Amino acid sequence: MIKQQETYTWSATLEDGSKIDESDVDSFTHIDKNQVSSIALLAEGTILHQVNIPDDAYPVFFRRRALTLGPDAQSQDTAAHCIGWLRDGQGVYLFILPDGSTLLTDDLQAI
For the chain, give the percent of residues with pLDDT over 90. Answer: 60
Whole-prediction pTM: 0.82
| Residue ranges of domains in the chain | 9-105
User: CB–CB of 110/102 below 8 Å?
Assistant: no
Name which of 21, 18, 38, 40 is nearest 30 in CA terms.
21
Spatial separation of the C-alpha atoms in residues 105 and 107, rounded to whole Å: 5
The band of 65, judged by pLDDT with boundaries at 50, 70 and 90, is confident
Looking at 8-94, list the stretches that DSSP marks H as alpha helix, in order from N- to C-terminal side: none
Q: How far apart are CA 71 and CA 90, in angstroms?
A: 41
Rounded Cα–Cα distance for residues 1 and 36 (Å)? 30
